[in-house]
């Protein structure tokens, strides 16, 4: 008799069959009713103990959090709330759980408290639902690219380059921190370091992905990404996962089409696959919003919001149009923005992005053709000489979900740009080679995986959609 999962049992039609199941006790009521969970579904299965025939010590050991092995009969439920239940014939305690100290009690805990217990929080309904959704999304992403002829490429985690040119990198070294070898001028001599040069954890796999796109045509990466931005916000992590497709012979319009089609596909997939988890998370969100003033509550439920994004076209707006809208907007005129929009060329802050998606357009927005000097060096310069073929996709409640561009494929324009920014050509000789040997129009984007999980689950803090968040001053577990 092979052990079954709770999900399998709850779906099972056959009644009065012998079953065998292992899981963790969520609650134990009236010395009789165990709510058992094994992670296979949000639901618990009710297991009814015959307390007259079970010894006292075993009954005492059935506590919240304990691991148990139950053998019994799957029968039609006698009570309300479930269609089947297990009549327990034999229960073995596999692992005790001390009810005095187990942090996850059957009651509501704050998200902050659960973050401090991140190793146990996945035993709650909320976190198990979020993590099942996260897993489905990751699968859907691979599935989409696989179905569409992309190759999965593993870009290096340790690199010598700063792809984004922002300098927010974590150094990788095996020097003795107290006593690194020095040059004559007192600076650290990285030539003697493990790799013979300065290296860091990758901030993006894009530059390497470009090299593969220029041979395999369509590739994507999906891996961990590291940024030492000291921004303690609900949308930034020091370690996050990024998906980066890169496609040869594709321009910016194609890039927008790809990103939109891709996002709709994965949203649809998770909606079909994790309905139960999403309904639970939707209810959780509604309960959380009850405490908020009307104006701050969402107009749409979580599932309505996902459907809305799937069913409607993203709005495509140039940076220049966006600046006009923002300049004439109420919060700008009334000086309610922290950063007022006065001139073309201003960098957009999250308050501006949120105004555009949440107040003005009320749907996902693709902003494109940004000023060259607020974007990375590799973006394709437009004929106007001042804007680049960049695109950011902004989502309601999230802000920037995707950042991408058509890449500068012309060697002379690229080297000139690098010179102006002080980027050493010798460091990126291999990247420049792409522009010497069979260069072509190509494009790609980066999707922040945790921001997608936030949008789908309705969780408001990025720390709650990754198992073990890494943020400034925090790398526990």
Which is nearer to Mg ion, 64 or 405 (by Cβ)? Answer: 405
Q: Who contacts 178 (Cβ-Cβ below 8 Å, separation ≥6)?
A: none
Q: At what angle do helices 125-147 and 252-273 cross, to 10 degrees?
A: 130
CB-CB neighbours of 377 under 10 Å: 18
The minimum distance between CB 404 and Mg ion, in angstroms, equals: 9
Residue 368 CB-half CA count within 13 A: 20
Question: Does the protein bind ligand 4AD through residue 200 (CB under 6 A)?
Answer: no
Q: Which position has the token pair 């065998």?
A: 20
**Candidates 54-62, 182-190, 401-409, 410-418; binding stretch for ligand 4AD (CB under 6 A):** 401-409
Exposed, middle or buried: residue 177 (CB in 10 Å: 0-12, 13-18, 19+)? exposed
Which is nearer to ligand 4AD, 72 or 448 (by Cβ)? Answer: 448
Which is nearer to ligand 4AD, 121 or 442 (by Cβ)? Answer: 442
Which is nearer to ligand 4AD, 6 or 366 (by Cβ)? Answer: 366
Binding partner selected for residue 306 from Mg ion, ligand 4AD, none, CB under the kind-specific 5 to 8 Å limit: none
Which is nearer to Mg ion, 403 or 458 (by Cβ)? Answer: 403
Q: Kind and range of the H or E element at 416? A: helix 411-421
The minimum distance between CB 247 and ligand 4AD, in angstroms, equals: 11
The minimum distance between CB 246 and Mg ion, in angstroms, equals: 16
The minimum distance between CB 427 and ligand 4AD, in angstroms, equals: 17
CB-CB neighbours of 99 under 10 Å: 14
SS3 297: coil
Q: Where are the alpha helices (DSSP H) in 229-383?
A: 252-273, 275-290, 302-311, 319-327, 330-333, 350-354
Two structure tokens written together for 297 = 């509550």
Return d(Cα 6, Cα 9) in angstroms, integer.
5
Binding partner selected for residue 278 from ligand 4AD, Mg ion, none, CB under the kind-specific 5 to 8 Å limit: none
How far is CA 426 from its chain centroid? 35
Binding letters toward ligand 4AD, positions 227-266, x by CB under 6 A: x-x------xx--x-x-x----------------------
Asked whether 194 and 174 are in contact (CB, 8 A), the reply is: yes
Map the footprint of ligand 4AD across residues 434-453, applying CB under 6 A: 444-446, 448, 450-451
Return d(Cα 359, Cα 50) in angstroms, integer.
58
Asked whether 280 and 42 are in contact (CB, 8 A), the reply is: yes
Residue 452 CB-half CA count within 13 A: 29
Which is nearer to ligand 4AD, 155 or 274 (by Cβ)? Answer: 155
The minimum distance between CB 248 and ligand 4AD, in angstroms, equals: 14
Binding residue (CB under 6 A) for ligand 4AD from 72, 404, 458, 469: 404
The minimum distance between CB 390 and Mg ion, in angstroms, equals: 9
Binding letters toward ligand 4AD, positions 12-51, x by CB under 6 A: ----------------------------------------
Which is nearer to ligand 4AD, 155 or 199 (by Cβ)? Answer: 155
The minimum distance between CB 240 and ligand 4AD, in angstroms, equals: 4
- Give the total of residues touching ligand 4AD (CB under 6 A): 23
Two structure tokens written together for 393 = 């996709």
What is the number of the residue whose Cβ is closest to Mg ion?
A: 403
Two structure tokens written together for 469 = 């968040």
Binding partner selected for residue 204 from Mg ion, ligand 4AD, none, CB under the kind-specific 5 to 8 Å limit: ligand 4AD
Map the footprint of ligand 4AD across residues 132-171, applying CB under 6 A: 163-164
Which is nearer to ligand 4AD, 204 or 282 (by Cβ)? Answer: 204
Q: Kind and range of the H or E element at 379? A: none
Q: Who contacts 50 (Cβ-Cβ below 8 Å, separation ≥6)?
A: 87, 88
The minimum distance between CB 402 and Mg ion, in angstroms, equals: 8
Return d(Cα 341, Cα 346) in angstroms, integer.
7
**Residues in the site for Mg ion, rule: CB under 5 A?**
403
Strand ranges in 192-261 using DSSP code E only, listed in sequence order: 199-201, 218-226, 239-248
Contacts to ligand 4AD by CB under 6 A: 163-164, 204, 206, 227, 229, 236-237, 240, 242, 244, 400-405, 444-446, 448, 450-451
């Amino acid at each position: 008799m092979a052990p079954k999962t709770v999900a399998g049992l709850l779906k099972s039609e056959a009644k009065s069959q012998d079953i065998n199941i292992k899981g963790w006790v969520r609650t134990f009521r009236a010395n009789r009713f165990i709510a058992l969970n094994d992670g296979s579904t949000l639901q618990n299965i009710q297991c009814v103990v015959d307390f007259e025939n079970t010894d006292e010590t075993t009954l005492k050991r059935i506590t919240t959090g304990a691991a148990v092995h139950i053998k019994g009969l799957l029968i039609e439920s006698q009570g309300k709330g479930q269609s089947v239940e297990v009549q327990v014939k034999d229960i073995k305690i596999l692992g005790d759980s001390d009810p005095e100290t187990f942090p996850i009690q059957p009651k509501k805990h704050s998200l902050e408290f659960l973050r401090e217990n991140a190793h146990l929080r996945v035993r709650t309904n909320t976190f198990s639902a979020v993590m099942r959704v996260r897993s489905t999304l990751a699968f859907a992403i691979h599935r989409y690219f696989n179905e569409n002829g992309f190759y999965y490429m593993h870009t290096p985690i340790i690199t010598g380059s700063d792809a984004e040119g922002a300098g927010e990198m974590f150094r990788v070294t095996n020097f003795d921190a107290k006593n690194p070898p020095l040059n004559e001028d007192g600076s650290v001599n990285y030539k003697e370091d493990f790799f013979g040069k300065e290296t860091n954890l990758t901030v993006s796999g894009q530059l390497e992905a470009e090299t593969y796109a220029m041979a395999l045509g369509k590739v994507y990466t999906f891996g961990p990404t590291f940024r030492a931005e000291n921004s303690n916000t609900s949308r930034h992590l020091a370690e996050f996962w990024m998906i980066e497709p890169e496609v040869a012979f594709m321009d910016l319009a194609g890039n927008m089409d790809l990103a939109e089609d891709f996002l709709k596909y994965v949203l649809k997939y998770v909606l079909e696959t994790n309905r139960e988890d999403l309904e639970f998370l939707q209810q959780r969100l509604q309960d959380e919003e009850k405490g908020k003033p009307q104006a701050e509550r969402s107009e749409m439920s979580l599932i309505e919001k996902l459907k809305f994004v799937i069913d409607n076209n993203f709005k495509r707006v140039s940076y220049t149009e966006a600046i006009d809208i923002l300049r004439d907007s109420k919060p700008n005129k009334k000086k309610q923005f922290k950063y007022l929009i006065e001139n073309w060329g201003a960098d957009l802050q999250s308050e501006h992005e949120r105004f555009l998606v949440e107040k003005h357009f009320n749907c996902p927005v693709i902003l494109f053709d940004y000023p060259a000097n607020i974007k990375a060096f590799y973006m394709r310069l437009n004929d106007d000489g001042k804007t680049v073929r960049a695109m950011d996709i902004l989502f309601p409640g999230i802000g920037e979900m995707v950042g991408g561009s058509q890449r500068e494929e012309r060697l002379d324009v690229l080297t000139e740009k690098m010179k102006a920014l002080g980027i050493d050509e010798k460091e990126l000789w291999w990247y420049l080679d792409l522009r010497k040997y069979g260069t072509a129009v190509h494009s790609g984007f980066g999707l922040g995986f945790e921001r997608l999980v936030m949008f789908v689950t309705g969780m408001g803090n990025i720390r709650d959609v990754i198992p073990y968040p890494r943020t400034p001053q925090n790398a526990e577990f």
